[in-house]
Chain A
Amino acid sequence: MARYEIRIIGFGGQGVITLSKMIITAASLYEGLAATQTEAYSAAARGGKCWAEVVVDLDQDQSQIDYPKALAPYDFSIVLSEEGASEMKKGDLKDEKNTGFLLWDTSTIKKFRTAKRVKALGIPIQKLALEKFGNSVFGNTILFGAFMKISNIFSEEAAIETIKKFVPESTLDTNLKAFEFGKQKGEKFLQTLMEAN
């Protein structure tokens, strides 16, 4: 049993739920792993605090996730809003090698104390998406690329298939560029971690 607990937190409309669906699609449909996803629903999914959780099991024999809820401490936490950042403690992330990563958006969160004490990658996602690709919706794909590289749960092919499934044809090229960009960010981050060790 090699469970990965992933939690994404942000506010409604940022693409929290879409990102979680992309992760589970890549992991389960294209990589063939057992996975479950749950999300905030009804009123909670709009405005305010919005969250989504994904559990992936890397064990190929596992037919289903036995406990489908993501549990703290998480393996991967993606934080996109100030509120999510203030809620987060150091203990919420696993303190192990190769796991316990934090991905956060430096353009929407001003102060994130916990980020200094964990393996954290901060990217000004919203800002970069707007500057480089012309629309903040591409922020999701940047995140997806970075997540793919850092987590190493699913392959790049699976990720690209997922993007093809999720985005409209007209923006596919831009999305793939955004994905590539995110991937490079992730790679760089991993390198700096290795060097630090």
Chain B
Amino acid sequence: MISNDEKRFLEPGKHLMMGNVAMSEGALSAGASFFGGYPITPSTEVIEHLSKRLPEVGGCCMQMEDELASINSVIGASLVGAKALTATSGPGFSLMAETISMAANLEIPFVFCDVQRNGPGNGYVTEPHHNDIGFVRFAGNGEFQVIALAPMNCQELFDLTITAFNFAETYRCPVFILSDAYLGHLHEVINIPPKEEILKRVIPRELPEDTSGRMFTYKDRVSGEYVTPKPPQMGTEYCPGLFIHQPHGPDGLPTPKPMEFIEAIIDKININKDKICLTDTYKIEDAEILIIAYGLPVRSSYRAVDIARKEGIKVGLFRLITIWPFHDEVVKEVVKNKKAIIVPELNYTGYIAEQVERVTDLKTPIIRVPKVCEFHHPNDILEKIKEVA
């Protein structure tokens, strides 16, 4: 629990910050009071910064023995009412997958910062590489839906962390912040808003007044809508006797999960896509060629669009801030009647390009611009634009 509110917020105004630090400060502003982590390059600065800052505000920052323990301690803290987060990189994420699935199925909210690096875990591994995008979508055994946000600069690392905590509280699911090795170590000036403004944005952790109600997401029989109650808290009246999101048989033991339960976990997010899926557009009104990007390549794409426009090529940029869930309907609308779609991604597989292919008609060519361990120069994207123009 946060006991010292004075130190929680930084002085409003401009601060020069590293991406990882901006993310940590965003978490503190959002009211995070527990961090469990294990050092891994390039996310180490998060645990370093929070182990200094969290005790200052009365929270707790724990360096656990491994990633498995860190994620478990995080959901443990979330169970007793602390807003909790962890930060790691790809190899740590692989270890944590098991528990992420459990947390998603038990609807335990927490925020997960994945500072992506190129994999696997051995060798030279400290370069940016968006290779966890697909893994995040299906992170673990069991069916569930997560929310993943992709910031592109330090300011967004701060802002989107607050948004991530709000999503976690509202929809009770793991929320991922997909940073990367370059963004995490980038120093930029960020603008910290005043305390009052931040507090207006933050959704605090609360117990519902009605302690006898349902504790997991359910479909309201009358309205047919999914209702997600506030997260239960161990040690209070508002907690199930057995914390498991499963029906139970006459002897009290859990029985196999019927499909409604899985439906509820996935659809509670999918039906709220309009609220969750944050997007941004740049000069797409009259665009013939469309760039769809997320994360760092967005920055290069802005420049590529500007240069191409000067040369008379009608290009627009559609930016995904929320990657998962993928908003099919919105993307479908955006890619309509386009000459070509360019998807620059920091990976070879093209996780988002695959999604775009899924919603685009077959005539429209989809051009991937893969790049690994370094990110796109505006000219890389410009080249492709000129090819199809």
How many interface residues does B have (CB within 8 Å)?
23
The minimal Cβ–Cβ distance linking A62 to chain B, given in whole angstroms, is: 10
Closest to B189 in A: A28
- Proximity bits, B359-389, A CB within 8 Å = 1, else 0: 0000000000000001101100000000000
Most B CB contacts (10 A, CB to CB) among A24, A28, A41 go to A41
Q: Give the chain A neighbours of B15 by CB distance below 8 A.
A: 29
The reply on B49 being an interface residue by CB < 8 A is no
A92 to B277, CA, bound (A): 43
Closest to B187 in A: A37
The reply on B63 being an interface residue by CB < 8 A is no
Contact in complex: A38, B16 (CB < 8 Å):
no
The 4 closest A-B pairs by CB, nearest first: A66-B303, A37-B187, A28-B189, A66-B299
Knowing A29-B14, A67-B299, A67-B377 touch, does A35 contact B126 (C-beta < 8 A)?
A: no
Q: Give the chain B neighbours of A37 by CB distance below 8 A.
A: 186-188
- Proximity bits, A44-85, B CB within 8 Å = 1, else 0: 000000000000000000001111110100000000000000
17 more contacts with CB within 8 A, not counting A21-B187, A24-B187, are A28-B188, A29-B14, A37-B186, A37-B188, A38-B182, A38-B186, A39-B185, A41-B42, A41-B185, A42-B41, A66-B302, A66-B303, A67-B299, A67-B377, A68-B188, A69-B182, A69-B375
Q: Give the chain A neighbours of B153 by CB distance below 8 A.
A: 64
What are 15 residue pairs bridging A and B, where the CB atoms are less than 8 Å apart in the complex?
A1-B303, A24-B16, A28-B14, A29-B14, A29-B15, A36-B187, A36-B188, A38-B186, A41-B42, A41-B126, A41-B185, A42-B44, A66-B299, A66-B378, A68-B299
A35 to B300, CA, bound (A): 15
- Proximity bits, B27-50, A CB within 8 Å = 1, else 0: 000000000000001101000000
The reply on A25 being an interface residue by CB < 8 A is yes
**CB < 8 Å neighbour of B186 from A1, A21, A42, A68:** A68
How many interface residues does A have (CB within 8 Å)?
20
**Is chain A's interface secondary structure helix, strand, loop, or mixed overall?**
mixed
Contact in complex: A66, B42 (CB < 8 Å):
no
A66 to B303, CA, bound (A): 6
The minimal Cβ–Cβ distance linking A39 to chain B, given in whole angstroms, is: 7
The minimal Cβ–Cβ distance linking B154 to chain A, given in whole angstroms, is: 9
The minimal Cβ–Cβ distance linking B371 to chain A, given in whole angstroms, is: 12
A41 to B19, CA, bound (A): 14
- Proximity bits, A11-40, B CB within 8 Å = 1, else 0: 000000000010011001100000111110
The minimal Cβ–Cβ distance linking B115 to chain A, given in whole angstroms, is: 12
Q: Give the chain A neighbours of B299 by CB distance below 8 A.
A: 64-68
**CB < 8 Å neighbour of B187 from A38, A42, A67:** A38
Within 8 A of B (CB), among A85-144: none
- Proximity bits, B282-296, A CB within 8 Å = 1, else 0: 000000000000001
A5 to B296, CA, bound (A): 19
Contact in complex: A25, B16 (CB < 8 Å):
yes
**CB < 8 Å neighbour of A36 from B186, B303, B378:** B186
Contact in complex: A68, B182 (CB < 8 Å):
yes
Closest to A17 in B: B187
Within 8 A of A (CB), among B107-163: 126, 153
A71 to B303, CA, bound (A): 15
A131 to B150, CA, bound (A): 51
Closest to A44 in B: B126
Q: Give the chain B neighbours of A25 by CB distance below 8 A.
A: 16
Closest to A37 in B: B187
Q: Give the chain A neighbours of B378 by CB distance below 8 A.
A: 66-67
Q: Give the chain B neighbours of A68 by CB distance below 8 A.
A: 182, 186, 188, 296, 299
